[in-house]
Chain A
Amino acid sequence: MSQINRLGGGQIDRTKTLDFKFDGKSYQGHDGDTLASALLANNVRLMGRSFKYHRPRGVLTAGSEEPNAIMELRDGARQEPNTRATTAELFGGLTAKSQNKMGSLRFDFMAINDRFSNFLTAGFYYKTFMWPAAFWEKVYEPIIRKAAGLGSISFEDDPDDYDRGFLHCDLLIIGAGPSGLAAALTAGRAGAQVILADEDYTMGGRLNSERFSLVDQSGADWAAKTVAELTSLPNVRVMARTTILGAFDHGIYGALERVSDHLAVPEVGKPRQILWRIYSKRSLLCAGATERPIAFENNDRPGIMLAGAMRSYANRWAVTAAHNVAIFTNNDDGHKTAADLHAAGVSIAAVVDIRQDAPLSEEYEVIAGGQVVNSNGRLGLTSIEVSLPDGNTRALPCGALGMSGGWNPNIHLTSHHRGHPVWNEKIAAFCPPDNGPAGLSVAGAALGNFTTAEALASGACQANAILKDLGIKQNKVVLPLAEDAPANMTPFWYVKGCSRAWLDQQNDVTVKDVKLSHQENFISVEHLKRYTTLGMGTDQGKTSNMGGLAIMAELTGKTIPEVGTTIFRPPYTPTAIGAFAGRDRGTDFRPTRKTPSHTWAEEQGAVFVEVGMWLRAQWFPQAGETHWRQSVDREVLATRNSVGICDVTTLGKIDVQGADAATFLNKIYCNGFAKLLVGKTRYGLMLREDGIAMDDGTAARLAEDHFVVTTTTANAVSVFRHMEFARQCLWPDLDVQLISTTEAWAQYAVAGPNARKLLKKVVDPEFDLSNDAFSIYGLRQYHCVRWTKSAFV
């Protein structure tokens, strides 16, 4: 009995069947499925347990805003916690585990917490663990640590690679729904350099989720056709599976491309993910909108989900959560779900619409002016209780319930530079602020244009406005005919009198907690968030914030815009730390510098030490030596008694030339160089402005206007920087040129009584190395070799 909840149609490939496991049990899905859609197809509604009360939870959404269906994906070192089943692409061999349970998902011992919910309200920790103080470290903290968090990690090194990259464009389009596609078509055909990025693996946004969004063709077909055209344009880069994480300064955006997350294992040499830095002249946010739930008693049971998500599951993935479905809505959009499910052969228990003037249907029952006041079913929804306009209550059996409380524009990126969202009374939602990131425009549902026709038009219109700003010839694109019916809505946030009605399902924040927060005077939105944890966690309150604000507004006698909203910061969705680290980890954390004798030293079995980024041969063990002192003592004695050589290329070397070279060195060293003879070397001490020693080294005079100075290994970069500062910023008219030659010259110290003898073996006989000719601090240049003689090593 597999995939009993699979419907007809959809955009899955039924010819490709994929095996996967959830909590050890095997299931089958199809290519094109997400983990969530495949589980629903197999009639799995219970997908996790909640954070605090360990309540049974199912999937709420069909996208990245998912608070409940978060799982551990894969095994072993690749195990990843808190992965949203709604965005995880199904692949053959996928294994997933539910999290946040003790025992099995069906019988979670921690579910006892739900019985003590009266104690575990907002502020529970602050109030309970106050005393005795000595208990904190030994008793309370270990218990809390054990209970805290959601998924678990493997504690093994991540075996995958993460890459980074840099992209440039005239226009970055964020989101490839109707508005994003219309904008990309407009700007792409006009010849602008366009990047179109979407977090989904199939572009099209809601076009893929609707049956009748376009009048004369399917939305999904138009999206596919448009994406194909865009992909063929050399000036357009189409990036699916790519989330724009944040808006940074001066048109820079962070983008995470999931290159291999849809594969069991990345291809050899390929990264798992790439963090792109996108340099854009302009950007257009087409991120769409997120549906809002409605709070009522026990609204968190598996099977209760957003109505729009239900429609996505039915139309895109050909899946229904149950074969008998009810809808609870405050707007016309909820009715669309009922119509689509009905057309797909799902029986509609009823559409419960809070509005007295709700549109009626000939196909199924509509309860106008009704409200869902409670739900039943231990591990999944079995029935709902509906209060009727006449005051009676009616029980309605159903296996799933779709909620629609209206839609919130996805304006997150517009707040990344601290812009405060603006309330729009017409759609009862926060809309983009005027002071969003410079260069960022907004189109489509993210701007509050909720119909497909509006979204298409607004995408094209914004793109043309941007083209005009960029001085690129505008382009009129013929857009497909699309549905344009306004989704009439009456704001409705929660059912009066409810208490254990969930606002934030991930953090277990209920209407009661918001009331408690108000009672205890945490009424500012920022305090409300922190006291109750409303809007925290992996979903950052994408589905929950508005309900909390609306209730706080009511309790304080203010309007929602007066209460205000918390704003958003990057990343838009959870991002693996590995992606931020990119290549910079392990031995690749920073470059390794090797001396010219490195390969030779390796062959001699040298033991290396890291000095800054350099690897320096520290000693050369010989057969029979078991302790480093034996090797070092032998080397020291050999040098003292005969001769020793040392690769000191790591010392910094700077070529200083120009008519004022000596004057310049006089200024930056505390000792003088003007009188140093050509062919001589002098020790130099460099001080900071406050007299503290900065560095020391030698300066050799090769000519009147030419010195080579050395620095210590560690300070080579900072001394060069300091000298450039002095040259450019302090004495800009001195004739002096600086070139670092650390890399260009190998440098060896030759020491010991036989040093001269050794040199004579290497240097041709016509070169006089006698003490008279080559005295202390003397300097000779011979072909491409320079010799200095100094007393300090």
Chain B
Amino acid sequence: MIINHPILGPRDSAEFTYMGDAALLDRPDWQAKDALLQFVDYGYLRDNPAGPHIELWYHEQGDRSFLVVTRDTTTHQISSVKLASDVARGRGRSK
């Protein structure tokens, strides 16, 4: 597969490490009342869709960027690639 890196352009997926569902970005607030339940969900439950899947790819053999890649699991068609730090900020993550 080819992943169109937002900074570096098209790169072979072999340079990346697959990190799974991008839901990993949404780490729960550890002080929330139902933190335990939220962390169980965060730690162990993943969707396994046949179709578009938002996932994390780590450019481990490249520039070490984490990318959020939207990939159709049935066709491997990639519809969007973004820097994970940008996506994380967009989802309200900061410090």
Contact = CB atoms under 8 A, between A and B. Distances in A.
A–B contact, 8 Å CB criterion (strictly below): yes
Interface in B2-53: 2, 12, 17, 19, 24-25, 27, 39, 42-44
A656 to B, nearest CB: 14
Contact of B24 (A251, A279, A729): A729
Given A721-B58, A724-B58, A734 B95 contact: yes
Contacts of B89: 732-733
A689 B36 CA distance: 11
A732 B88 contact: yes
B88 to A, nearest CB: 5
Nearest to B66: A728
Contacts of A728: 65-66, 83-85, 88
Given A690-B43, A721-B58, A734-B95, A729 B2 contact: no
Interface string B52-95: 00001010100011100000000110100001111011000111
Contact of B95 (A248, A690, A721, A733): A733
A234 B21 CA distance: 44
Given A250-B1, A689-B42, A721-B58, A729 B84 contact: yes
B64 A729 contact: no
B90 to A, nearest CB: 10
B62 to A, nearest CB: 12
A734 B88 CA distance: 12
B24 A725 contact: yes
A778 to B, nearest CB: 31
A585 to B, nearest CB: 18
Contacts of B83: 728
B2 A733 contact: no
A249 interface: yes
B20 to A, nearest CB: 11
A733 B94 contact: yes
Contacts of A732: 85-86, 88-89, 93-94
Interface in A656-689: 660, 663, 688-689
A461 interface: no
Contacts of A721: 17, 58, 60
Given A250-B1, A252-B2, A730-B27, A689 B88 contact: no
A248 B64 CA distance: 25
A716 to B, nearest CB: 13
A725 B19 contact: yes
Contact of B39 (A249, A279, A689): A689
| Most interface-central of A279, A663, A724 (chain B CB within 10 A) | A724
Nearest to A252: B2
A362 to B, nearest CB: 58
B69 to A, nearest CB: 12
Contacts of A734: 95
A731 interface: yes
B2 A731 contact: no
A522 to B, nearest CB: 28
Contacts of A417: 75
Contacts of A730: 25, 27, 88, 93
A277 B12 CA distance: 10
Interface in A724-743: 724-725, 728-734
A728 B60 CA distance: 13
A431 to B, nearest CB: 22
Contacts of A660: 95
14 contacts: A166-B12, A249-B2, A417-B75, A660-B95, A689-B27, A721-B60, A725-B58, A725-B66, A728-B85, A729-B66, A729-B85, A731-B93, A733-B94, A734-B95
Interface of A: 166, 248-252, 277, 279, 417, 660, 663, 688-690, 721, 724-725, 728-734
Interface of B: 1-2, 12, 17, 19, 24-25, 27, 39, 42-44, 56, 58, 60, 64-66, 75-76, 78, 83-86, 88-89, 93-95
Given A250-B76, A721-B17, 18 more contacts: A249-B2, A249-B76, A252-B2, A279-B2, A279-B12, A689-B43, A690-B39, A724-B64, A725-B24, A728-B83, A729-B56, A729-B66, A730-B25, A730-B88, A730-B93, A732-B89, A733-B89, A733-B95
